[in-house]
Every structure is written in structure tokens, then in C-alpha cells.
Chain A
Amino acid sequence: MATVFKRPHALIDKSMHYCPGCTHGIIHRLIAEVLDELDIEGTTVGVSPVGCTYNNYEYFNCDMVQAAHGRAPAVATGIKRANPDNVVFAYQGDGDLAAIGTAEIVHAAARGEKITVIFVNNAIYGMTSGQMAPTTLINQVTTTSPFGRKPEVHGFPIKVCEMLSTLEGAVFVERVSTHDVKNIMNAKKAIKKAIQVQRANLGFGIVEILSSCPTNWGMNPVDALGWIKDKMVPFYPLGNFKGKDLEV
């Protein structure tokens, strides 16, 4: 009998701790599939962030380094500069990347570090129980914006891909989503292309992945996927910002 679906080798056979309906598990799988398809598990080093995915070093079969909150791009820089033949990816959430780690992400991109950043944007702090993130939408209710995010009080959400696209060192920038199968397949294509851009030594690459957080959004998983589509996508437009035509 032909095998049509199996666990990627780069993903360790272990139950994940994520909440029901959270899309981190899907994103982990996509990364692992790309490592398998490019046959680079043995040369890849991943960087785990702080937040819900702090321990994703337990799920990936490649070497992993756990970093401090927001510092993953700096840690990834050190790994890549030490061993340029490694494929290095950093996995970060929106609080990690777009708040405490803004300096590190901006300058890793500006330097054109040959690393790939997987930026998971679910518009909220998950691990610490649903606080307002830099990417929280206007009027979105969180535990630290209990009356909704108001621009006059909380300022505006940050569009990371648009911001990083202005930097010459950032050569591959794309925003994708996980709210349906078609978009999940697109997300995988973007991750694969970003890794190939790194392997071709072309510069810095980032894939922003819109993701759900049913627990902290207070929704069931199906409604949460609908909320990505109806609320997040209109504000965070999907698509490639840079590097679509790069030869890899």
C-alpha cells in the first residue's frame, strides 16, 4: 500500500502541548516538511523563542537553540556567522518579534543576515494569557485592553512585513495565513522559498504567518479561523512583498 501521508522526519514523534485549534502545530509541520523536502534537517539549526513555542526544540529533530525574549534574530546571527554552511531559522511570535525584539529583527534584516525568520502573528500574547500585542487589531479586546484597543490610548498595530520591506537587506518578505487549506499550502511554499533564498546566500528572509489563538481570543477553533479571514486578513494583506522573482 502506498503511503500518502506521514510524519515528516524533521518532526519528532511527540504530542505537542498547544491548545486545541492553535495553528502552531500546523506551522511546525510545514517547516518540518520543507526541511525533509530540501533534505537539510542535518545542516539546520533552529532558534526557539519565548512564548507559547518556547520549547519547540522538543518538536524539531534538527539542532535547536533556545533564545531570550525577542533576541532570536541576534542568536541566529551568531549561529550563522559561526557556521555559514548551516541553514538557520528563527521562530518568533508577535510579542517576541514586534515588541521586545524590534531592534533585533530590524537590524538582522538591515544587515541582510542570511537567516530565515518564521514570524507567527496571532495578534495577542498567548503564553502570558492574552495581553495586547503590537499586532493587536483596533478595537480588539485583550486582558490589557479590556475595552478594546483604542488608537488614542494604545497606538496602532505594526505591519511588520511592510516595515521590513523598506530595508535593502531583507530580500524575501511574504505574508501568508493558516485559515484554510489553500492558504496553508501557500504558507508552505513561502517557507520553502525563504529557506531556498537563504541557501542561495541572497540575504534575509521573513515569512509572516497569520495564526489563530482560540483560547485567548475566546472563540472555538472554527470561529477563530474565520476571525483570521474576516478581521486579520483585511488589515494584514496577504502576499509577497519582496523576492517573489528571486532565482533560487
Chain B
Amino acid sequence: MGEKLLMKGNEVIAEAAIRAGCKHYFGYPITPQTEIAHYMAKKMPEVGGTFVQAESEIAAINMVYGAASAGVRVMTSSSSPGISLKQEGISYAAGAELPAVIVNIVRCGPGLGGILPAQCDYFQAVKGGGHGDYKMVVLAPSSVQELYELTVEAFNISDKYRQLTMIMGDGVLGQMMEAVEFKDQENIVNVDKPWATTGTGMKREHNTIQSIYIQPEVLEQHNKKLQEKYKLIEENEVRVESYNCEDADIIVTAFGTTARIVNNVIKMAEKEGIKVGLIRPITLWPFPVKEFEKYAEVPKAFLSVELNAGQMVEDVRLSVNGKRPVYFYGRMGGMIPSQQEILDQIKQILNK
């Protein structure tokens, strides 16, 4: 392994993108992710890359659309209200099958909400915040080290499938400093992009990048092709971490920052004789359905803990498919549940 540094989450995302070969970043300031833009503004000139502070989130995602069309690795980042503005471009890029990485350091809503951490954009990210039938791969890191590794991986996944990939963090992850160990050599998957609009050089037929198909037969075929690709991604790209699930009394599920809190609850519960398992989805889409199926009949119940009013819990219920009761506990508005609060929920569910 290479050098170990103490770095802020947002800066690690930016550094990881550059290490992954991303030389083009287009963004717009919004708390709590703006350090990504600061880092890019400073570093991109050093690596011969491009940093543009766009006039809006809408323009930024459309610059991403243009650069991705031209075949380069490209990224934008924002936080919840800004990601809402990007939805138009996200839908177009998904339709045009453009590979790009979008970072959402989630803050609380709805509306302008607040700047504190939340996970209330789960639906928007995994169910399709923009119009039309499309999917983004959604990666949910829970440490600064994972922010680094998954950001690099996001570019590989995007290129491999001509696919949008979102890194979904939250204000805690973006703002906190933690040790991160960088590799000497990144695993960069190089993918040919014969479809890119780089100029024909008078050597080939012209390429077109488009999301519009006026003929219904053609558009249905295009949609079917997208769905086939999504199926392939569901088969190949699920990432999940399970701990202590084999003979758990209860399995708690959480992603990102919340999973870190649950980790500590496991130890507290053990002292009281309760065995708590944890399933931590790392890909929110594709959702780790099989992992839940595997343990569906092990515990007495499942509990989904989230920083929202209950979003991922719907996918947990679909995955557990009625085999066990699925409970929910969440905090909103930037409030974070304490370990004791979660333990109290567990005890209440288990009648202890």
C-alpha cells in the first residue's frame, strides 16, 4: 500500500477521482460538499485537467453530458437541492447511456431544508429522480477509506456499462477527517469508446449521442436494451457487507454513516445478551436482495435504521418478503440517532 494521510471526506472524493483518471470536473457551490470543488479547482490545473464552476447545477450536469459524449472520465458533485436541479440532465445522460460519476453529499430536506447530514435522497437516487425508466448505480460508502475506493470503482463501473454512477454520502462523511491509505497504483479499467463524439476524422460514419427516439418501436427497443443492461448490473455489481448475522436475534440494516453507529450498538447489545446482526448495503442500487433472502428466516425481526422517514426500509421489506417483520427507526432534519436510542428500539422489538 501507498501513503497514509489524514484527510477530509470531500477532499478524498476529489483526490480519488483524479487518481481514477478523471480530468474533467464541472460543479456549483453548495454546502456540505463544496470542498470537492475547492480541491478540484486547485488540483486540476496541476494534472492538466479542467475545472469549470458552472452557472448552475443544470449547466454543470449538461457540461458533464458534453464531456462524457466526448469520451473522457468526468464528474460533478452536489448536495440534495443541487441534485434535484441535475435530474433533467441525469435522465438525458441515462437515456443517452453516458458514463459519468455524480456525487451527492446528502443534506436534509425537503426544500432548502438544512445543511446537516441526512439520507433522505434514497428514493431519488435509487428509484429514479428524473423522468423515464432508468437506473443509476448508487454506491454508499461509510468511511473515508471507502469514499476513496468506491469513487475509483465508480468510474470503472460507469465506463464498463456506459452508465451513470452516484456516490451517495452525507454531511458527516463529507466533512469528517479520517485516515485514508492510497494505493501506489489504481485499478483503472480502460474501456474503448468507439461511440464517443470526438470528430469522425473522415475515417468513420458520424457518431450521434441522443436520448430521443421518435419512432415508438425504436424507443421501446432502446428501453429494452437499457433494462437488459440494468439486469446485467444487478447480477454483477451488488456490493454488501454482513456481520454477525448467522444466529442473530435481530438483524439491523443501515447504510453509510448510520451503519457506523449500528456497529457500536452491536457491542452494547452483546453485553446485554442480545445478538445483533448488521447488513450494510454498499450498493443501494443494485440492492442486495439475495443477502436479505439468505438471512430472511434467521432473526426474529429486521430493523432498518435511516436518517429519513423510512425509505430503504421499503426495499428491505420487499427483500424479506414477509418472512419476518421489518421495523423502522429514523431521525430527520439533521438529527442523528444515538447508540442508546437504537438499542432501546431493538429491546422494544424483542420485548426485552
Contacts and interface: CB of A to CB of B under 8 A. Distances in A.
B227 interface: no
A75 B62 contact: yes
A115 to B, nearest CB: 10
A64 B196 CA distance: 10
B200 A41 contact: yes
Interface string A173-193: 000000000000000000000
Interface in B169-220: 197-203, 206-212, 214
A82 B89 CA distance: 18
A137 interface: no
A54 B214 CA distance: 10
Interface stretch (A55-63, A148-156, A202-210, A222-230): A55-63
B62 A78 contact: yes
Given A42-B200, A65-B209, A67-B62, 5 more contacts: A64-B209, A68-B65, A78-B68, A78-B70, A86-B199
A240 B250 CA distance: 75
B54 interface: yes
A80 B59 CA distance: 14
B197 A64 contact: yes
Interface in B65-97: 65-72, 74, 88-89, 92, 96
Given A55-B212, A57-B210, A78 B63 contact: yes
Interface in A49-97: 54-55, 57-58, 60-68, 71, 74-83, 85-86
Contacts of A74: 54, 58-60, 62-63, 65-66
A158 interface: no
Contact of B89 (A43, A68, A85, A111): A68
30 contacts: A42-B201, A43-B199, A44-B199, A55-B214, A61-B206, A63-B197, A64-B197, A64-B206, A64-B207, A65-B69, A65-B197, A67-B66, A68-B65, A68-B89, A71-B58, A71-B62, A71-B65, A74-B59, A78-B24, A78-B74, A79-B66, A81-B50, A81-B67, A82-B24, A82-B66, A82-B70, A82-B72, A83-B72, A103-B58, A103-B59
User: Lowest 10 A-B CB distances belong to which pairs?
Assistant: A78-B66, A74-B62, A82-B70, A63-B197, A107-B55, A78-B67, A66-B210, A78-B63, A42-B202, A75-B66
B56 interface: yes
Interface of A: 41-45, 47-48, 54-55, 57-58, 60-68, 71, 74-83, 85-86, 103-104, 106-107, 111
B52 interface: yes
B40 interface: no
A158 B116 CA distance: 42
Contact of A54 (B24, B60, B212): B212
B66 A76 contact: yes
B199 A42 contact: yes
A79 B69 contact: yes
Interface residues of B, number: 41
Contacts of B54: 74, 107
Nearest to A83: B70
A77 B63 contact: yes
A66 B63 contact: no
B59 A71 contact: yes
A140 B119 CA distance: 51
B209 A66 contact: yes
B208 A82 contact: no
Contacts of A104: 55, 58-59, 62
B168 to A, nearest CB: 23
B92 A68 contact: yes
Nearest to A107: B55
B265 interface: no
A74 B211 CA distance: 17
Contacts of B287: none
B26 interface: yes
B59 A107 contact: yes
A82 B74 contact: yes
Contact of A42 (B62, B89, B203): B203
B303 interface: no
Contacts of A43: 199, 201
B199 A45 contact: yes
A68 B90 CA distance: 11
A45 B70 contact: yes
B276 interface: no
B208 A57 contact: yes
Contact of B197 (A45, A71, A103): A45
Nearest to A9: B202
B17 to A, nearest CB: 15
B64 interface: yes
Given A78-B67, A81-B24, A82-B66, A61 B200 contact: yes
A57 B89 CA distance: 19
Contacts of B52: 77, 81, 111
B55 A86 contact: no
B56 A103 contact: yes
Given A45-B197, A55-B212, A61-B200, A78 B69 contact: yes
